[in-house]
Homo-oligomer: A and B are copies of this chain.
Amino acid sequence: MGSPGPGLLSLVPFVSVDHMMRIVWDIGPERMIVELAAYIEEDFRRWELFDKTPRIAAHSAEGVIELMPTSDGATYGFKYVNGHPRNAAAGRQTVTAFGVLSHVDSGYPMLISEMTVLTALRTAATSALAARVLAPPGAKTMAIIGNGAQCEFQAIAFKALAGIEAVRLHDIDPKATAKAAANLAGSGLAVVSCRSSEEAILGADIVTTCTADKRFATILTDNMIGAGVHLNAIGGDSPGKTELHRDILLRSEIFVEYAPQTRIEGEIQQLDPSHPVTELWRVLTGLAPGRRDRAQITLFDGVGFAIEDFSALRYIRDQIGRTGEYVNLDLLADPDDPRDLFGMLLRHRPG
């Protein structure tokens, strides 16, 4: 005789990496990024409702493990994410992640999901959402400096959401550029591989930086950026890791997700803590202007914020019923009488 099976209340849907990839192809990567952006925009528009806790980080010599919780009062979510720059040498991801969504009223989890793939999609969706209100009108060409794991996601997000038709790629490692160019071959984007950052930014209306170097780097110097460009700086996302020369920041109108976090992690860690920045949610709700004129340099200093993960988990929760791409995990004890946990154990005694 087997043990009684777990009750319905104790089951939590789990979306594996394989499930997530099936969901992406069921919906289509571009459409999924567009829909993710809509969920993120919806949550950014109700920004003031959210609990905004800074991430809780455990630092070590090798990297960092972070927990990023947030809540809108009805639903609670958190993401576990690591950042270990030396992982790649051992064939591991620099960044991996998973997340959980729960009911605030019962504390019971309603979803556990892989978030390595999902974070790549939501990061690109957030960048493109920012570009919709910040990029110069009629932008068609984007340079992408840094052709690692995030590169192609940025490319297809900007095609789907910001009207980009051509991408100009550069990486200090030509193999990374070749990899990205090959992956984007069927994307419908015109792809140009470039031997230098200077060459990549020629004619670009938008410049995305997403390098992985964990140090104060200068991917772009001041003389490289002319009037009217939108900068989408994604790689500078932790203390001690920046990509842009400080002088570019001083010439730009700067937009961020959540200022208290970005001042620690973003490009603006190079600036005085009182330097004016605009939170993106204020632009999306109409409380602040986005791009004001064609000549302005705009900068989205993206570091990734918990609400974006919350939106992404919410989106996945809304997809799993239709797609069936999940399995139920027996994660929560479900005794017949909640006070009788020991009795549940006794009733599962073998023999």
Q: Which residues of A contact B (CB under 8 A)?
A: 3, 6, 9-10, 14, 16-18, 21-22, 24-25, 29, 51, 53, 56, 58, 60, 62-65, 67, 69, 71, 73, 76, 78, 80, 82-84, 87-88, 90-94, 96, 98, 100, 102, 104-109, 114, 116-117, 120, 147-153, 176, 179-180, 182-183, 329-335, 337-346, 348-350
Contacts and interface: CB of A to CB of B under 8 A. Distances in A.
A63 B102 CA distance: 13
Contacts of A179: 337, 339-340, 343
B60 A339 contact: no
A62 B332 contact: no
B346 A183 contact: yes
A58 B342 CA distance: 28
Contacts of A51: 58
Nearest to A5: B18
A333 B60 contact: no
Contact of A338 (B67, B69, B94, B153): B94
A33 to B, nearest CB: 12
Given A17-B330, A56-B53, A93-B332, A107 B340 contact: no
A349 B337 CA distance: 46
